[in-house]
Every structure is written in C-alpha cells, then in structure tokens.
Amino acid sequence: MQCETVSLQLAEVADGLEKLPAHSAEHVKSCLRCQAELAQYRKLLRALMALRDRRLVPDDYLLDEILDVLRPPASVHLLHRRGRRTAYLGGLAAATAAGAAGAIVIAAKLAQGRQRLAS
Amino acid sequence: MESAEVDELVEAARSGDHGAFEELVRQTYTDTYTLALRLVGDEEDARDVVQETYLRVHKGLKKFRGEARFSTWLHRITANCANTYLGRRGRHQHEPLPEEPVVASVQSADDPEESVRVRGLRDELSLAVHALPPKLRAVLVLRDVYGLPHNEIAEQLEITESAAKVRLHRARKRLREQLYPLGHEEQVRAM
C-alpha cells in the first residue's frame, strides 16, 4: 500500500463521517507519514469549525440598506410621494428664481438703452 | 444567533408583524453578512447577496414551518443567493481579502500567548480559505464551517452530491498543503 493512494482518502474521512477501507486503515496504523497527515486534517477541521464563531462586521449602512429594501410598499409609496412633492416644489422655486433673474436682466438692458438715448 | 427570542420574532413576522421582521433582520444580518462574505469573497458583492437574501426570506417566511432551525434556513437561502450571484457575475478571480474585523470570537483569555497564537492561525486560515477558487470555497465553507449536510449543499449550489464531495475533498487537500507546508517527518516531530 502506497502512502499516495491513502493520502487521497484521508481528506474524505477526516471528519469521521466515513471510514477508511480496511486495507488503508491497516496501512495508516503503521505509517507515521499518513498518521501525521490525518492529524493535520483533523486539526484543520477543528480550526474551520471555530471560524463559525468569528463574525465579520459590516459597516453601519448595511442594516439601513436592507430595511429600505424591505420597507412595505405603502411607505415606499409615501417616500416616492414625498420625493415627488420635493421635486415639484424645487422645480417651482427654480422656475421662479429663473424668471426673477430674467426680469432683472431685461430691466437692466432697458435702463441701459434709455441712458444711451438720453445721452 | 439561535434563541427563543429569534423563534418568537419569526412567529410574529410570519403573522405579518413588520416590526418583528425588522428586529429579526437586526439580530441576524451580521451572521448573514459573514456567511455571504465568506462565500463571495468581496464586501460589495456580499452586501448585495445579503439584501437579496432578506428579500427572499421576506417573501418565503410564511412557507417556513420551523422544521429546520431558522439559522439553517437562512444559511441555505444565503448560499443559494451567493451561488446565483457568482453565477450571474461569472467572476471567479481572487481578490485580496479585506482585513477581517472581528466582533465576537469564542476565545479564552486565560492564556494571552496561546490566545495570540490561535488568533494568528485563524487569520492564516481565513486567508487560505479566501484564496480557494469560489467553487471549492463555497462547499468547504458550507460543510466544514457551517456544518450543512452534503445533500443540502448540493441542492443550494445546484450540483450533484458527489460533485459536492469531490470539491470538498479537493478544498481540504489544498488547504492542508498550504497550511502545513513542512515535510511529513518534520510535522510528526512538531506534533
């Protein structure tokens, strides 16, 4: 029995759910190299299991993002309505400001024209 | 994560209490994000997976009958979303692992030196897991970190059970070779 053959099976049985074939198990009993490899797999699996207790922290915004996505349609609708209202008022304000600015420009040009005529 | 409180929240959320559902999200989203990040390996992608997961949970909660633990059910959905996401993106390159901020770790403070040594090993292990190809990493994370059975993993990743096992064994082999690069004799002496 070659170590290479057994080596392929060790990764499969390291968690103890499956067993090595009898002839492989016999080989491992007498082979320090395969015993070491099996011990490494077991150590690795213990370390992987321990990772489950290790939590990775997202930034503070993730929770808000999730809750936004989940917000019931009524409140989404309300938000949209609020958004539309804000946009409407903003547009109205911008149009008023543009109108006022235009009126000032026209008034200034008219005044300049009158001055030229007077002189 | 599992507690009587979570069970109560699940029950309330199933009966339409949106506040209970939001609280359920608050209590579970860090764990969901952790799994998603381990599966997709990228913070931004993990955020998308988490959002998609909770949308599916929200839609499917009424069908959840409590046969499995809520956390197991949530893990399954997260795995499925991550798989869909990876498939859609078709992105399989390895990106550098962002530093893993640890919130809670079951770690004994009795022996500070031992504590540091174990933490070092865990960091090394996290990096090695991240460096695996996504297909191998997903199976390894779901089986060896989260303990999902092979048939569940196969179902969520849309592969056969034997393919799941083959990937798992290949992933374990790669990790072992990476984490224990010493010669066998040296390893025996070291142990």
A51/B125 Cβ within 8 A:
yes
Length of chain A: 119
Alpha carbon of A87: minimum distance to chain B alpha carbons (Å): 28
Model confidence pLDDT, tens digit, residues B7-50: 899 999 998 899 999 999 999 999 999 999 999 988 999 999 99
Tell me the chain B residues in contact with residue A54 when contact means C-beta distances shorter than 8 Å.
34, 100, 102, 104-105, 122, 126
Is B69 within 8 Å of chain A by CB? Answer: no
Question: Is the full-model pTM beyond 0.80?
Answer: no
pLDDT of residue A92 exceeding 60, the answer is yes
- CA–CA separation, B189 vs B136, rounded Å? 31
**Which one is predicted more confidently, A103 or B177?**
B177
Model confidence pLDDT, tens digit, residues A45-70: 999 999 988 899 998 899 999 999 88
Is B146 within 8 Å of chain A by CB? Answer: yes
pLDDT of residue A43 exceeding 50, the answer is yes
Hey, which residues 91-110 in chain B have their CB within 8 Å of chain A? 100-106
Angle, CA of A10, A29 and A36, to the nearest 5°: 50
| pLDDT the model gives residue A58 | 92
Domain at B114-191, CATH from 1.10.10.10, 1.10.3720.10, 1.10.287.370, 3.60.10.10: 1.10.10.10
Which of B43, B50, B145 lies closest to A66 in CB terms? B50
Is A46 within 8 Å of chain B by CB? Answer: no
Bridge partner residues of B102 (DSSP): A56
Token pair 């490899």: residue: A37
| pLDDT the model gives residue B97 | 46
| pLDDT the model gives residue B5 | 86
User: Minimal Cα distance from A64: which residue of B?
Assistant: B26
| pLDDT the model gives residue B98 | 44
Tell me the chain B residues in contact with residue A56 when contact means C-beta distances shorter than 8 Å.
30, 33-34, 37-38, 100-103
User: Minimal Cα distance from B17: which residue of A?
Assistant: A72
Is B169 within 8 Å of chain A by CB? Answer: yes
Instruction: Report residue A17's pLDDT band, with 50, 70 and 90 as the boundaries.
Output: confident
Alpha carbon of A96: minimum distance to chain B alpha carbons (Å): 42
Alpha carbon of B67: minimum distance to chain A alpha carbons (Å): 22
Which parts of chain B sit beneath pLDDT 70?
1-2, 90-121, 182-191
The stretch A100-107 carries a mean pLDDT of: 80
| pLDDT the model gives residue B146 | 93
B169/A11 Cβ within 8 A:
yes
Q: Is A87 exposed, middle or buried (0-12, 13-18, 19+ CB in 10 A)?
A: exposed
| pLDDT the model gives residue B108 | 44
Phi-psi region of B41 (alpha: psi -120 to 50; beta: other; left: phi over 0): left
Which CATH fold would you assign to the domain B1-91? Rna Polymerase Sigma Factor; Chain: A (1.10.1740)
Bridge partner residues of A56 (DSSP): B102
Tell me the chain A residues in contact with residue B123 when contact means C-beta distances shorter than 8 Å.
none
Alpha carbon of A86: minimum distance to chain B alpha carbons (Å): 27
Which of B18, B22, B179 lies closest to A44 in CB terms? B179
String of DSSP letters for chain B: ---HHHHHHHHHHHTT-HHHHHHHHHHHHHHHHHHHHHHH--HHHHHHHHHHHHHHHHHHGGG--SSS-HHHHHHHHHHHHHHHHHHHHT-----PPPP--BS------S-HHHHHHHHHHHHHHHHHHHTS-HHHHHHHIIIIIT---HHHHHHHHTS-HHHHHHHHHHHHHHHHHHH--S-HHHHHHH-
| pLDDT the model gives residue A85 | 47
Which of B26, B29, B102 lies closest to A54 in CB terms? B102
- Residue spans of the domains in chain B: they are 1-91, 114-191
| pLDDT the model gives residue A88 | 52
**Which one is predicted more confidently, A89 or B87?**
B87
How far is Cα of residue A54 from the mean position of the Cα atoms in its chain? 18
| pLDDT the model gives residue B105 | 43
Length of chain B: 191
**Which one is predicted more confidently, A40 or B113?**
A40
**Which one is predicted more confidently, B126 or A113?**
B126
Instruction: Report residue A35's pLDDT band, with 50, 70 and 90 as the boundaries.
Output: very high
pLDDT of residue A73 exceeding 80, the answer is no
Dihedral of CA B90/B94/B96/B98: which sign? positive
| pLDDT the model gives residue B89 | 73
- The answer to whether B172 and A41 have CB atoms below 8 angstroms apart is yes
Mean of pLDDT over chain A: 80
